[in-house]
Structure 1
Amino acid sequence: MTGKPLFQRIADRKVSVGIIGLGYVGIPVSLSFTEAGFRVRGFDIDEFRIDELLSGRSYIDDVSDTRIRAALENGFKPSANPSVIADCDVYVLAVPTGINEGEPDMAAVEAATKTVAEQAGSRETLVVVTSTVYPGATRNIVKPSIEPAAEGPTYFAMVPERLNPGGDLEFSKIPLVVGADSEVAGAVATELFETVVSRTYPVESTDTAELAKTLENTYRMVNIALVNELVTFSQYIDADVWEAIDAAATKPFGFQPFRPGPGVGGHCIPIDPQFLTWRAENLGIELSLLNGAQRVNDRMPRLVANRIESLLRENHCEPEDASIFALGAAYKPNVGDTRNSPALQVIEALPDEAEVTIADPHADACDVSRKLVQTPDPENVRSADIVVLLVDHKTFDLKSIGEQASLIFDTRNAMPDDISAEVVTLGEIPERSCNETTRNFSLTEVP
């Protein structure tokens, strides 16, 4: 074993860091530790990813090829062979989690812990979980799998990821929560992550850190559900839900604006709250607010698809015969990630017979079931019976699209005001079709 304690070796940048999982979280974390002066090794079972990295190419929207090449030059070693992370001082688990038939899918976490148990050496070691997991997972899954096989002192910590794909905030500027079940583990993990971020916030247990992470995304899910449900309510009272949110946001305290949309997507908001509801059910507790909010958001793609069909019929076009041009396939603006994308759920809910074309400069055709183009061709826009804005990517020239289209359904309230097209926003009933039959359409009626 090395003479200096792990804490001191971290401070001296004399440790090797093994990252398990080189995806949307693992790559930025790997690069940050490499740039901080650590010896970083990365393991991923996806050989395509490894080939891309070794060729100096990035498959992450927010990570440039230049940054990958610089990391390789500075000693970053990615591999699909788990032996690449043998005898590391620090292990960071950055593998995906999800929900499978109502239960947390911890298969990747379990596989990662097995890999650590097989590859860790006899030296003092820190194991960090950065994957999003349910409260109790680090203590009940990760630690029992690794600790019995450990030959040297092993510490466990939970440092949940806080990356924001497509956002402007750098990883180094985002405070990180550090949870550990012992004082030594907390101190070592804090020392490690304060080398790559400006501030850490220690909490007294891994369970608390896990709860903090799931709380962050559950808070967003619940508040998005609130404004999504108000979409229908506002139609009955002749109110503009978008204007009401902007008006409420002028209050300098006690209110944070969330805005409606076709649903929630990505790897966090649709999934993380279900970790809490599942854990609660196992404890005999019902989290009814979370369950209700989940149902509201789950129904939004069908509501949006139904509204598209009703707008087409109001314009004397049967949905099955319609030409529909959709803007956006990703789950959020300015990224190519289509995991749990509500935009794709809307598209899938439209009639199979309809001619549907999707424009998205970031998405891959293999992730989209309908025709995908990279940019909105003016002819496609002009010939469409309806243009649907599902994701407001910065690259979309909405002014130009608004001059070329005849009818636009804007689910993001992002279209400019001074355009020639007729624009209907989510939550709006056009005056020409403002009748009780049209109004009688709510989330409670969506199957």
Structure 2
Amino acid sequence: MDANQPELGKQVRAADRAHVFHSWSAQDLIDPLPVAGAEGSYFWDFEGNRYLDFSSQLVNVNIGHQHPKVVAAIQEQAARLCTISPVMANDVRGEAAALVAGHAPDGLEHVLFTNSGAEAVENAIRMARLHTGRVKVLAPYRSYHGATSTAIAATGDPRRIANEAAGHADPHVRHFFGPYLYRSAFNATTEAQECERALAHLEQVITLEGPATIAALIMETVVGGSGLHVPPDGYLAGVRDLCDRHGIVMIADEVMAGFGRTGAWFALDHWNVTPDLITFAKGVNSGYVPLGGVIISGPIFDTFRERPYPGGLTYSGHPLACAAAVATIRAMEDEKTVENAAHIGTDVLAPALRDLKARHQVIGDVRGLGVFWALELVRDPETREPLVPYAAAGAQARPIQQLVSDCRSQGLWILANGNRLHITPPCTVTPEEIAEGLTAIDTALTALN
């Protein structure tokens, strides 16, 4: 679509404001950008303004915008078979399931398809409860698992609190502190200490809650929007051991971290840990058509061999979504997309972000893997006082809002959460595009200083 059509842009904006109800928003306080088109790492509006997408939209466009192989696969599937009931077998559904399971750890061979990550979490927790006969679920405070009822209850960040006020709470969910060395809840000073003490804390929570009452422990392998926390070496293995000792189902939420985002097919590959269930969505087909799912281990699959699983979705394994997943995974394999994300993270982003931190005192911490990074911003590097308070809103959040605005005025689209800037470009991003984006961030940080 032609980007130089300002009148059409006005019509798009007017229709949106007249009829669309936006999620997570006060409706009168937003002004959504009308988007005309996108390609690769960029998208543009109707006035010809072009943006480098350092957000991958909502951290899901892993293969970049409008990848021709994925677009063609959707078109071809639409011409052949648009939809079919999930009770029937379908060629692209089976192929997509095989490809997803093929990149999961050994022993996870079956896939329940959903339409989103939140639905994947809902179904994973339901499976765990039915498999164990228990009801409690443990989840970290710094986490996000989706906006549906049990998923938002498992969420630990402030989005949970607003939903609890609306009556959306699961009384059987309990939260614990995950590892976060920069602001250690355990007075740790090294990664090894943080790992050891976080595991001791988790073991105490399990003991106090009653191990025989706990069905599942769900955690993002690498925490995403709630802080982008990379677990210290040994932590995931320790969680696996605790779950094994107490018969707790370990659910790895890979909705945001999976399919190349961390420079591995699944983030858990960095630590060679095998959970009982994996939830996924987003990057499995870069969001071209909504798709999510649960990858299921043998013992949990066996629970439902002759016992009906009480759950399902009209669009489970939708052919258009599965065709997009097949094309995405095949393209990522052929084009070494995951390897590119790993290279960008290790050789480009890591050193460049460390250099940025050295030049800006407002950057308190840099952390990440692959194309999954955050800059944690502080008022004082010595006291580590956050640039904005926890769950800041309104005037309190203005410093972060100004940074985001300054970046966007330079043609860089970036997301922020809390006192962090999140750097999450597509896995296909180039070193030149990274340099372009970091120049804009450098300029915005200089203005803030």
In the superposition, the TM-score normalised over structure 1's length comes to 0.33
User: Greater CA radius of gyration, 1 or 2?
Assistant: 1
Q: Which structure's relative contact order is higher, taking Cα pairs within 8 Å and 6+ residues apart?
A: 2
